[in-house]
Copies of this chain bind each other. A is one copy, B any other.
């Protein structure tokens, strides 16, 4: 009667007994190996079906040395940007039969490398979003994480593709746009101090300032979430700027909300821009002018890069660079009292 093995779950052995063949043959049949006599194969399949046998993936993984699972490390699952990356990654990976294991570091950068290592060991590859990790730390652990794909970070180590968004250029474009609207006093509501993508934005702003010495650009401390923007209202107003570049859409939305509470009109009194073009950006009132990043596509691309690494294919285009597209909506408008001449 005791047909099932000790564990309670039915295993390959049970099927073998029921079909009157060896474990090996069952395995062969289950894996579509055609060196098995059709009659026997049928018997095995019948037995498997009757017992509702499903191979244990852990045993399989151990024998095969692969898990058909990839990991992704994100700093904050509440952030729409990482949600979108996860979505794109998950969808693309699923198409190739891979699953995604998530590791949320909850913005604790000290956890990131431990988490990454743990996740990597359970998976066949890893996608790492670690904006707060220091370069040194990244450089140190990156090789041990291979196959690895980096998002918005780069490393000197070879064989590690990086998918980066050109935040610098994006911010420049937005600043240009504001200038064209006649704004001469801008303010940048920065992101988290140690954020890599914030650094890129700052670099872009430097370029912009060099090209436009006449435009005043105030730097304001900030963060990456809605509250940051909401709480920055006073600082923004104190700056006297009429064109505000927020770190991202969330911050911009918080800022707009705060400005609205103060009875200020966007873009009548102040123009506000975001970054990322999260799904909700087009639905704020006014709709948010922002730098659109094809972020879901980036997640998808991350999988393709990772897949090439896992399959040890020659990666035709290792890494990739994404240019944000300026998405002009209703949150930006002409400066109230244009001092400088308007083009055209």
Chain B residue, CB-CB nearest to A287: B257
Oligomeric state, in copies: 2
Whether, in the assembled complex, A101 has its beta carbon less than 8 Å from a beta carbon of chain B, the answer is: yes
Whether, in the assembled complex, A136 has its beta carbon less than 8 Å from a beta carbon of chain B, the answer is: no
Q: How far is the CB of A279 from chain B (nearest CB, A)?
A: 8
Whether, in the assembled complex, A163 has its beta carbon less than 8 Å from a beta carbon of chain B, the answer is: no
- Which of A36-44, A114-122, A213-221, A317-325 is found at the contact surface with chain B? A114-122
Q: A87-B77, A122-B99, A284-B285 are in contact. Are A58 and B67 (CB under 8 A)?
A: yes
Whether, in the assembled complex, A239 has its beta carbon less than 8 Å from a beta carbon of chain B, the answer is: no
- Which of A102-110, A125-133, A150-158, A187-195 is found at the contact surface with chain B? A102-110
Q: A62-B62, A100-B101 are in contact. Are A106 and B77 (CB under 8 A)?
A: no
Q: How far is the CB of A283 from chain B (nearest CB, A)?
A: 5
Mark interface residues in A66-81 (1 if CB within 8 Å of B CB, else 0): 0101000000011000
Q: How far is the CB of A305 from chain B (nearest CB, A)?
A: 20
Chain A at the B interface: mostly helix, strand, loop or mixed? helix
Contact A102 B102 (CB under 8 A): yes
Contact B283 A283 (CB under 8 A): no
Chain B residue, CB-CB nearest to A72: B102
Using a CB–CB cutoff of 8 Å, the interface residues on chain A facing chain B are: 7, 52, 54, 56-59, 61-62, 65, 67, 69, 77-78, 83, 86-87, 90-91, 94, 99-104, 106, 117-119, 121-122, 144, 226, 253-254, 257, 260, 279-280, 283-285
Could you give 7 example pairs across A and B, Cβ below 8 Å? Answer: A69-B101, A90-B102, A99-B101, A99-B102, A101-B101, A253-B280, A254-B283
